[in-house]
Amino acid sequence: MAVSTLSLLLCVLASCLPNFVEADSAWNGHTTPQSTTPSAFLPYYVPLGAKSYDSTSPLILYSAGWEEIHSKAYVGNSLQQTDKVGAYVTFPFQGCGIEWFGSCDRSHGVSHVYVDGLLVRKVDSWCNSEKGRKQQRIFWDYNLSGGKHTIRIINTSKRPGSTHSCLTSLDAFVVTKCSATAQVYSAPSAQPFDYSGSTLAEGRAVETWSLEQKGSTGVHAMQLAVISPTHALIVDKVEHNPLTTPDGHPAWGALYNLKTHAVKPLSMKSNSFCAGGTFLRNGTMIVVGGNPVVEDKTAAADFGDTDGLQAIRLFHPCPSSSASGCDIYENSDRIRMASPRWYTTVVRIPDGTAMIIGGSKKGGWINNATVNNPTIEYFPPKSIHGSNGMPIGLPFLQDTLNSNLFPIAFVLPDGNVFMAANNDAMIYNWKDNTERRLPQLPNRVRVTYPMTGTALMLPLSPTNGYQPEVLLCGGSTIVDTNPGYEISSQDPASKQCSRMVLTDAGIAAGWVTEEMPEARLMPDAVLLPTGEVLIVNGAGSGISGYGNVLNQVGASNADNPVLTPVIYTPSAPQGSRFSSAGLPRSQIPRMYHSVATLVPDGRIMIAGSNPNLDRSEVKYGTEYRVEWLSPPYMGKPRPQIKNGPKQLDFGKTEVFTIRLPPQVQDKADIKVVLMDFGYVTHAVHANSRMVYLTSQISADGTKATVTGPPNGMVYPPGPGWLFVVVDGVPSIAHHLMVGDGEDPEVDEKALKNVLQHTSPNQYEDSKSGSGEE
């Protein structure tokens, strides 16, 4: 009895204080790169290009009641603290962001933080640490406009439930500049485009788009996927992000609230640098592959990360509108890939499993024969083609070296998989394990990393029998056997878009090329519910990656950010498909590691940019700011989906309660579309998809009778978003499960074989010479 009471008590305590119980000893890290002496992790970090102001700086103005204490444990060997109610500190600064570092322990309490006279947060710097933790990031805000600001911290000397007076302490402020913001770029090698020219859609009315900057991702947004009506999943690599996990080290994954802009750190284990991802048939998302631990900069000792090269991270459906209880699950002993993969593409195939394509066996830059992993594998693993769950060779991935990482892949409506890599394309029949090679992309344009272009499969429609057509845009003609020292950040990107219908006749007719108004490397192509394609982000010159070409800008291998999005209308006549009329120009360069996705309300979320090894404030710095692009339809009366089923099975008919906008004509053009917003990283919009559904609208306009897609080849089973689009104006999306929502089939024999015959640490094993390679 006594024992169980005790354990109950411990349990209650632990659940009240999940973050802080034994916090000092639980963080089994060491702080200095390559150091072997464990100590607590110190969040204090000054990114390249940012400026730190020690607590003794004459620019920091203290009220009465502060005392200075000295210890080597503090930044600059000193700290200011106060326990006087109403004592305050004021710091005028110039920049876009401010971080306040100080100590936390059981004697600290709540302070009020004012920025430019407005109370922005009440911060509690209490933590359940006896010795106290130093150099903690107590507060940060990167969402300031460039210019002069003042931060004031006022001590309340209180904390909930405590009658003692509490401390506030200041160790240092770190000011982040507006590294690449608010400067207008001229683009020497990218020709300015004359938007009044004849290649624009004739007579198209200039409609009102708007661009709003709001919110901060907390972890850099390298990978982005909308996971629910309220949240997006953001995945980064291990680096000094300001968002901190409950156990006190920088986070490298987060859930972003699309409505409140709040960010919640995820507790990821392995380094997810350059992972890929997809939802499965049952709605669980997998985030696959990554990078080893980067010892010299962001060592495991500091961050607690593990090698992510073989990782399969599970993120289960997260219906909670506050994302409570949602986190990433990882256990490499139980769930992992058979082989290491960095820069792998993951697509959901018609049976609702994931096909994991290519990548390289270790981190680096451009692919080569030594590190190439020219295979596919499946999750859950399959016993097909004699593989027993092990990787299956794909000659295409050998023939497309060197520029073939993050291959482009889309499931076609006949169940086969279109792939493009480097300058080539093919259709893979995964059931027969055969490749059908397609004509090379015209004009030697390469479209995959590091000559990164972007691609989409255009909307599928029953009116033409779901005839598939792909669109590939941007990239580069840089020769991919050239070493980095012969490539420059100023080498021009490609303007080319290549389009092909993937039927026998279409393939015989070959690629049709068009030119974007501006050349782009690393663009993002986003399908809109109107059937148009938004092309945004990217650079006018250079190559993907950082730190290894001529004329780097900071560490960026690319330059000349392209700041104006362009709309591509696939159904318009050739020559009049591009338009930037009315599209706002951004102030924020979105270079390597930028992302963009459609969100359920119809806007486009734009985030990221980080051509750096670790967080940096030097142009092109690490970008945390989010932008929201609103198409003209956002300002119009919108149709609504008021009610509908949570599931839409193949070929089944369901009724949705809708409301059409007022003044809709009898002859209104009403469409119902099903979309997958995809998993976005490195300009790869894997799983992005749009399918027109067969539907009927009741005479009174209140019911839409909708038939699910015919099968899992047209829309692989998994989550989807349904829009009703009236005269080009979409509703807010309705989230549902397409198919049966069941777990994908698990082949126990193949799974067991993978776990038995592969080590979870093949990269580490290979380094020590004991591996299989």
Ligand X SMILES: *[C@@H]1O[C@H](CO)[C@@H](O)[C@H](O)[C@H]1NC(C)=O
Determine if 371 is a binding residue for ligand X (CB under 6 A). Answer: yes
589 residue type, one letter? P
In angstroms, what is the minimal distance from the CB of 120 to ligand X? 8
278 lies in the binding site for ligand X (CB under 6 A): no
Among the residue ranges 24-32, 53-61, 280-288, 545-553, the one whose residues contact ligand X (CB under 6 A)? 280-288
Residue 65 makes contact with ligand X by CB under 6 A: yes
Query: Is the CB of 157 or the CB of 688 nearer to ligand X?
Result: 157
Q: In this complex, which beta carbon is closest to ligand X, that of residue 213 or of residue 482?
A: 213
Shortest CB 271 distance to ligand X, Å:
16
- Among positions 478-497, residues that touch ligand X (CB under 6 A) are none
Closest-by-Cβ residue to ligand X is: 83
Decide if residue 280 touches ligand X (CB under 6 A): yes
Q: Which of residues 309-328 bind ligand X (CB under 6 A)?
A: 314, 316
> Is residue 82 near ligand X by the rule CB under 6 A?
yes
Residue pointed to by tokens 């989906």: 641
261 interacts with ligand X by CB under 6 A:
yes
Q: Choose which of 165, 461, 548, 576 interacts with ligand X (CB under 6 A).
A: 165
Residue nearer to ligand X on the CB measure, 405 or 641? 405
Q: Which stretch binds ligand X (CB under 6 A): 40-48, 209-217, 224-232, 410-418?
A: 209-217
490 to each of 189, 649, 654, 724, how far by Cα in Å?
7, 50, 54, 44
Burial class of residue 571 in the structure, from the number of CB atoms within 10 Å of its CB (0-12 exposed, 13-18 middle, 19+ buried): exposed
DSSP state of 616: B
In terms of CB distance, is 377 or 469 closer to ligand X? 377
Q: Which residue from 125, 129, 135, 168 is in contact with ligand X, where contact means CB under 6 A? A: 168
Q: Closer CB to ligand X, residue 319 or residue 701? A: 319
Q: Residues 228 to 257: which contact ligand X by CB under 6 A? A: none
The beta strand positions in 663-732, using DSSP E, are 670-676, 679-681, 684-686, 689-693, 695-697, 703-707, 718-726, 729-730
Q: Which is nearer to ligand X, 86 or 92 (CB)?
A: 86
In contact, 606 and 235? CB cutoff 8 Å = no
Q: Which of 374, 459, 540, 744 binds ligand X (CB under 6 A)?
A: 744
Residue 610 near residue 623, CB atoms below 8 Å: yes
Judged by CB under 6 A, which stretch of 287-295, 358-366, 528-536, 601-609 contacts ligand X?
Answer: 358-366
Within 8 A by CB and 6+ apart from 465, the residues are none
- Tell the smallest beta-carbon distance from residue 214 to ligand X (Å): 4
Rg of the chain, C-alpha, whole Å: 27
Q: Which of 143, 199, 461, 569 binds ligand X (CB under 6 A)?
A: 143
H or E segment at 764?
helix 762-767
At closest approach, how far in Å is the CB of 505 from ligand X? 39
Asked if 287 interacts with ligand X (CB under 6 A), we say no
Quick check: bond before 450 cis, omega within 30?
yes
Cα(723)–Cα(601) distance, integer angstroms: 10
- Is 99 a binding residue for ligand X by CB under 6 A? The answer is no
The answer to whether 312 and 379 are in contact (CB under 8 A) is: yes
Helices (H), 497-588: 504-509
**Residue 107 interacting with ligand X (CB under 6 A):** no
- Comparison of 580 and 758: residue with beta carbon closer to ligand X: 758
Q: Which residue, 87 or 549, is less far from ligand X as judged by CB?
A: 87
How many CA atoms lie less than 13 Å away from 495 in the CB half-sphere? 13
Minimum Å distance from CB 316 to ligand X? 4
CA dihedral 633, 257, 655, 531 (to 10 degrees): 40
According to DSSP, the β-strands at 734-738 and 647-648 are parallel
Three-state DSSP state, 24: helix
Structure tokens at 178: 């507006």
Local structure of residue 464 (DSSP, 8 states): G
Other beta carbons within 10 Å of 17: 13
Question: Binding to ligand X by residue 157, rule CB under 6 A?
Answer: yes
Alpha-carbon span 140 to 155, nearest angstrom: 17
Should residue 85 be labelled a site residue for ligand X when binding is judged by CB under 6 A? yes
| Shortest Å, Cβ 24 to ligand X | 23
Nearer to ligand X by C-beta: 477 or 482? 482
Q: Are 542 and 488 in contact (CB under 8 A)?
A: yes
Site string for ligand X, 210-229 (x = CB under 6 A): ---xxx--------------
- Closer Cβ to ligand X, 214 or 767, answer by number: 214
Interaction between residue 743 and ligand X (CB under 6 A): yes
**Do the beta carbons of residue 375 and residue 433 sit within 8 Å?**
no
368 binding ligand X? (CB under 6 A): yes
Output the six-digit token pair for 119. Answer: 């109370």
Partners of 363 in beta bridges: none
Under the rule (CB under 6 A), what is the footprint of ligand X? 65, 81-85, 87, 143, 145, 155, 157, 165, 167-168, 213-215, 261, 280, 282, 284, 314, 316, 362, 364-365, 368, 370-371, 380, 743-744, 746
